[in-house]
Amino acid sequence: MNNDKNMEFIMKYQTYLLSEKHLSDNSIFSYCEDIMLFLKYINKDVTSITKENIYNYLAYLDKEKYSVYSVARKISSLKSFYIFLNKHYQMKNIIDDIEMPKYYKKLPTILTIEEIDKLLNVNLVSAYDYRNKAMLELMYATGLRVSELVNLDINSVNLEKKFVRCIGKGSKERIVPIGDVACNYLNIYLNEYRDKLTKNRLCESLFLNNHGKGISRHGFNYIIQNILKEKGIKTKITPHSLRHTFATTLLNNGADLRTIQELLGHSDVVTTRIYTHTANNKLKEDYIKYNTRKEE
């Protein structure tokens, strides 16, 4: 196998995902990781791979007990790769007619009202406590992805008009309204405590870590896990659980699925339909009314 040639294809594919598909760094990494695993197993030059090779690879994944979700993702990555090869190098798309495995999406973890109250009831003593409170309230109030939350800068939030501007998947910008409670704690954090976390650094990130730099996904998850432990919440909760809870709360209170799709930044309403296991009511009023948390 000509490894150099294959790596050249991989590098150009990375550029394609970034410049034409506008995917995030994490998505690009996942796609390329899947493709490299495939090429390592096939051990052939890209230009000489056959459909039989692909079927053998899928049989290998089955033999190695890869989950149906993982196999589906790998097939999706290969389909994207061959679309790129066909478009830019006129290679035959030998995977186009290979079907995705059928599977049922695992329902997201949803927090109960009691768990939400415990999680958001942060003991406010230090500047870090006020930062944590503002982050959690904002995430619960808007349903932002963790990556979107940690990438916010100080100009992303408009407290006067009560909205946040974020950049989602595919570098798509969207504006999401913020409820009164989140606005209140963001205002306190920004005006009274954020400067205490800067460590004399110039940083535009909205939420800062203990080094005066923008907080990371790992850092945010670490904060949540510590709060869960402190509050005695034993449910397996991830930062994404707040996003799921946000969507389910709106749906349970009658919000339209298309409205939730827009707020979450889903490109396809099919993705949003996973939340319909909790309710199927028609739209009553807009987002602000559905946010059940009131000013304290």
As annotated, the active-site residues are 145, 169, 240, 243, 266, 275
- Alpha carbon separation from 75 to 3, 57, 91, 217, 271 (Å, rounded): 22, 10, 18, 27, 18
Total Cβ atoms within 10 A of residue 24: 19
Displacement of CA 278 from its chain's centroid (Å) = 21
Please compute, for residue 167, the number of CA atoms within 13 A of its CA located in the half-sphere on the CB side: 11
For residues 283 and 274, what is the distance between their CA atoms, to the nearest angstrom? 17
Go through 85-122 and write b for each residue having 16 or more CB atoms within 10 A of its CB, e for each that does not. beeeeeeeebbeeeeeeeeeeeebebbeeebbebbbeb
Side-by-side strand order, sheet with 173-177: 157-158, 163-167, 173-177
Angle between helix 25-42 and helix 51-63 axes, rounded to 10 deg? 100
